[in-house]
Amino acid sequence: MARLAPGGQIRQMQRLAQQVWLERPQTANSGATVGELAWEWGSGRGQRAAGWTQRVWFEDGDAVAWGWIFAPERIRVSATEWELSDTSLAWQAAPGRPALVAEVLQWFDACAGGAPQATTARAADAQALRQLRRLGYARDPDAPWFQLNTRALDRLTEPGLPPGFRFLTAAQADPALVVAAHRAAWHPSAFSAGSLDDVRSTWPYRDDLAVFIEAPDGRLAASALVWYDDVTRTAELEPVGTDPGFRGRGLGRAVSLLGLRAARDAGAAEAMVSCRGDERYPVPRRLYRSAGFTELTRDLVFRKRVHW
């Protein structure tokens, strides 16, 4: 039966993410990495959980698949455009288990109740693509899509700053300014002091891997949150943002590199970050390319409607 997963089940979902990353990283789905799960759960559960439905499939006490359904919500499709999404599914199944993929999709169909549905699969996940088509999903080549990017951490550029700016970590930053920085970078945003507390209590959050750039006037001009997974030795940027009043100065690149250097010092060997890959919103892709990332894999978007 569908239910909202408590924090302990989120950890099980993250353990499956670790398994997938170690075995077949090209099939790590959007929203299904350790850091994306942590950020979505931590930042959203206080205000958005009423629109969530989750289920986790277990075998011998370990998660082997999960699905997370999101009610329709306003999503950014370009720098200036927003639209209402379909009922959408994030999901993951253990590698080489197509029957589990089918079971997750059939559960989604049952929960959606005939509403327009959307989900994604990685381009390299041939088994999942077959299951989607078999169950009546059609690819939407015009939909916004995401790509997953990686880079090694053995050679990192020294991040530079304009005069008067300085680097901080969460241990040094005023929490009220952290909230204000997030709300400015992702306006409109409902992020609150409670959201910040929830993020900080979500594994594997660390204060030393939440990094900021402070402007001469004391505001936090840019921020990057890095989630370090010591099982895979991977650091994940999620999210990175810059106050609109400070954009165009290279601060997003600088704060990303600062976070990656801190993660490398903590033991990380590689980094990942997800961003839009289509041309309707190319700025994040350009940012991460400038920070040394290259594409590992990309989404294919699928939709299903009862009445076309």
What span, in angstroms and rounded, lies between the C-alpha atoms of 140 and 186?
A: 26
**Looking at residue 66, what DSSP letter applies?**
E
The answer to pTM > 0.85 is: yes
For residues 159 and 257, the answer to whether their CB atoms sit within 8 Å is yes
Q: Tell me: domain 7-145+300-304, CATH 3.40.630.30, correct? A: yes
**Phi, psi dihedrals of residue 136, rounded to the nearest 5°:** 95, 10
What confidence score (pLDDT) does residue 1 get? 33
| Per-residue pLDDT reduced to its tens digit, 41-55 | 999 999 888 899 999
Strands (E), 163-293: 166-169, 210-214, 220-229, 234-242, 270-276
Whole-angstrom CA distances from 39 to 74, 107, 116, 198, 216 are 18, 24, 26, 9, 29
Q: What is the mean pLDDT of residues 64-92?
A: 87
Q: Strand 166-169 to strand 146-152: parallel, antiparallel, or no bridges (unpaired)?
A: unpaired
- Give the amino acid at 118: A
Q: Residue 43 and residue 195: Cα distance in Å, rounded?
A: 5
Q: What residues does CATH 3.40.630.30 cover in the chain?
A: 7-145+300-304, 155-268
Instruction: Assign 36 to helix, strand or coil.
Output: helix
User: How high is the mean pLDDT of the chain?
Assistant: 94
Mean pLDDT of 16-45: 97
CATH fold for domain 155-268: Aminopeptidase (3.40.630)
Segment 224-245 shows an average pLDDT of 98
Report percent pLDDT > 90 for the chain. Answer: 88
User: What's the first-to-final CA gap in the chain, in angstroms?
Assistant: 29
